[in-house]
Amino acid sequence: MSIKIALVGNPNSGKTTLFNELTGSNQYVGNWPGVTVEKKTGKVRNCPQDIQVTDLPGIYSLSTYSLEEVIAREYIESSEAELIVNIVDASNLERNLFLSLQLLEVGKPMVIALNMMDVLQRRGDHLDVAKLQKELGVPVISIVAAKGVGIDDLVKAILNHDRSVPPFKEIYNPIVLKLVKHLEKELKVEISSKMHALRFIDEGPSAIDGHKHEPIQMAVLNEEVDRQLKDYPLDRDMIISDEKYQYITALTKKILTKNVDAKVSLSQRIDEVVTHRYLAIPIFLLIMYAVFMTAFGPIGGTVKSAFEYLINDIVIANIASFLINVGVSEGLYSLIVDGMLGGVGSVLGFLPEIAVLFLMLSILEDSGYMSRAAFIMDRMLRRFGLSGKSFIPMILGFGCTVPALMATRTLENERDRRLTMMITPFMSCGARFPIYAVMAAAFFAQDQALVVYSMYVLGIAVAMLSGMFLKRYVTKGRVSNFIMELPEYRMPTLRNLFMHTWERVKGFLIKAGTVLLFASMVIWFMSAYDFSFRMVDDSSLSIIGSIGKTIAPILSPLGFGEWRASMALIVGFVAKEAVVSTMGVLYGVGDVLVSNPGALSGPLQTVFTPLSAYAFMAFALLYTPCVAAVVTLRREMASLKWTLIAIGYQTAVAYVVALLIYQGGLLMGLR
């Protein structure tokens, strides 16, 4: 028979790492809450029995304040989850056990996977696993998920799990236990293994048996709850947390022996510098600048040269030779070389630099630094109507806007979610990178890294200013509190770095081989034929030329009112990578862009100036994201009205910023 288990744990407890280890899946592993925003399912590999594993979002409790908590709680309480595997970070035991107690209340079989035991041992601490298992009444297995240690023991515990429900443990004070007896008497049910009494206090008596009770009966019971708790030092909302933490504190003293001679950890020493009140933000900016210098410097350049040799001397040469040898027609040759290879290849030429950029960001994420980035940005973001938690989706936006928008589910209130979704597309996703690379190579050859870096900084700056504006005039409300764990710094593993980078690169390649391939073919056709479907020699007379000439005057005040540049931005709505591929086709250099990404420099320099090129880059950064992101925005907003407001606002901001850059530059005498 198949066993359906749910992986549940705090953020940063190693939950998704364990999921990957069990199933062989390549799910994303990160160091901040909200990376897993939907449940993911896989099967345990190399197992004689069918075990289906569902990876739930990382949560701190089952309180339904945010969407990821709703997702987790609904699945845990459903009939689908037969067994709960609770991942507990042994190095942060007290915080993790709060969720463990809540899971015991659900009344389902459970196994605790005690992860990161190696971190605990490095500190010189000792944890009595057997005593913890006896105290909680469920199996407790020691593991180190990142190294694959203890995984076999965990699988055995899952296969041999006791399907009976963990016993009710009287861990709460006499007032609560007295209340339990009263509720049992009134409702004529036995409160034992189904749920704990504190949940009844929190949610009402209907939580006992899942049935609604008469309003009069409910009123009497609630009155009794208030009467029993009137002398309790905490209010009704705090009683649950207080009771559990009192028990957890006492339990931890029994089972955990800390090393009294332990020195200040390396993580603490690093944090004294990188989270310093005054140095933190300059350090963050320097680190991000170093990332871009690496992508454009010797490392990125070396990888790029090797890739260009592979594409030019092996792939393109063989394809061109084959087409000539078989004697294909001129039109078909143009479609394949100028349209397909030129369009897709113009984007693939920048793949090495993109891969290096993704790798560097992966190192920062896997090491634990990105959690610090959100923490240090909290104070600044609050001045602009946001919290540090909003910075998490914004950082994710450097990779792709779609998962970044989905990550806003970690925000507790609707006001913060809506505001964050409106400004997250201003973060420069990887798809925009080829646009910057082309323009920087053509007009800023000596300062490419600095120019590209400035685009990322500009996106963050515009997002913050937008937050301040929207907070005051559009999404009014109070900024929610921000609490975040700073995990131990960890040495990224080569396996995780490869998986993480490959997942991003693979998504880029898939888009290039599907959406961009189709878009390039359509662009080639529209640039080769007019509205009467007659082939034209002058692309300005083609279908796309006619459309571009109509749009160009609108963008003329921004410095790039040229029909090909205007049309490239319109096509960019399908996918931002298509901006470069469209330029390659329309400027007639698509066939050589594959082997020489700088081939666009000549044609672009006849149309743009350095100033208008920079304005073009700013517009491409800020205007409406791709269609996939818009669809995600509509789904996450759950409102067509707010989706249209967001799209209109983003486009208006892009126009105004590009206008200020170009016209302001002209006033300053720049060209």
In a domain, 32, yes or no: yes
Q: What is the pLDDT of residue 168?
A: 46
- In tens, the pLDDT along 549-582 reads 899 999 999 999 888 888 889 888 877 877 887 8
In a domain, 491, yes or no: no
In a domain, 271, yes or no: no
In a domain, 269, yes or no: no
With 90 as the cut, is the pLDDT of residue 398 above it? no
Whether residues 330 and 464 share a domain: the answer is yes
Whether residues 138 and 96 share a domain: the answer is yes
Whether residues 299 and 237 share a domain: the answer is no
In a domain, 275, yes or no: no
Whether residues 569 and 433 share a domain: the answer is yes
Q: Which residue has the higher pLDDT, 529 or 415?
A: 529
Is residue 253 helix, strand or coil?
Answer: helix
Question: Rounded mean pLDDT of 156-184?
Answer: 62
Per-residue confidence at 668, pLDDT binned at 50, 70, 90? very high
d(CA 148, CA 131): 24
How many domains does the chain contain in total? 3
Per-residue confidence at 229, pLDDT binned at 50, 70, 90? low
At which of 159, 183, 202 does a domain end? Answer: 159
In a domain, 482, yes or no: no
Q: Which residue has the higher pLDDT, 590 or 669?
A: 669
Q: What is the pLDDT of residue 666?
A: 94
With 80 as the cut, is the pLDDT of residue 534 above it? yes
Domain that holds residue 246: 174-257
With 70 as the cut, is the pLDDT of residue 43 above it? yes
Q: What is the pLDDT of residue 105?
A: 73
In a domain, 276, yes or no: no
d(CA 631, CA 485): 32
- In tens, the pLDDT along 404-459 reads 887 787 676 677 788 889 999 999 887 888 889 888 888 988 888 889 889 989 99
Whether residues 77 and 36 share a domain: the answer is yes
Q: At what angle do helices 351-367 and 494-513 cross, to 10 degrees?
A: 140
pTM summary value: 0.64
Whether residues 600 and 663 share a domain: the answer is yes
Beta strands 83-89 and 40-43, pairing class: unpaired
Q: What is the pLDDT of residue 30?
A: 47
Whether residues 316 and 196 share a domain: the answer is no
Whether residues 193 and 148 share a domain: the answer is no
CA distances in angstroms from 360 to 13, 17, 21, 501, 547, listed in the order given: 23, 20, 23, 9, 40
Whether residues 320 and 288 share a domain: the answer is yes
Contact between residue 542 and residue 360 where contact means Cβ atoms under 8 Å apart: no
Whether residues 123 and 181 share a domain: the answer is no
Q: Which residue has the tokens 């300053």?
A: 668
| For the ranges 89-93, 100-104, 201-205, 328-332, the one whose mean pLDDT is highest | 89-93
With 80 as the cut, is the pLDDT of residue 637 above it? yes
Which two structure tokens, joined as six digits, stand for 255? 């089972």
Question: Rounded mean pLDDT of 487-499?
Answer: 79
At which of 131, 159, 187 does a domain end? Answer: 159
Whether residues 95 and 147 share a domain: the answer is yes
Query: Which residues, 6+ apart, have CB-to-CB distance to 542 below 8 Å?
Result: 526, 527, 528, 529, 530, 536
Which two structure tokens, joined as six digits, stand for 502? 């490959």
Q: Which residue has the higher pLDDT, 493 or 253?
A: 253
With 70 as the cut, is the pLDDT of residue 290 above it? yes
Query: Which residues, 6+ apart, have CB-to-CB distance to 267 below 8 Å?
Result: 368, 486, 488, 489
- In tens, the pLDDT along 85-118 reads 999 999 888 889 988 888 887 778 899 999 989 8
Lowest-pLDDT choice from 8-12, 271-275, 364-368, 605-609: 364-368
Whether residues 150 and 184 share a domain: the answer is no
Average pLDDT, the chain: 77
With 50 as the cut, is the pLDDT of residue 195 above it? no
Percent of the chain residues topping a pLDDT of 70? 73
- In tens, the pLDDT along 15-35 reads 888 998 898 865 544 444 444
At which of 213, 242, 257 does a domain end? Answer: 257
In a domain, 270, yes or no: no
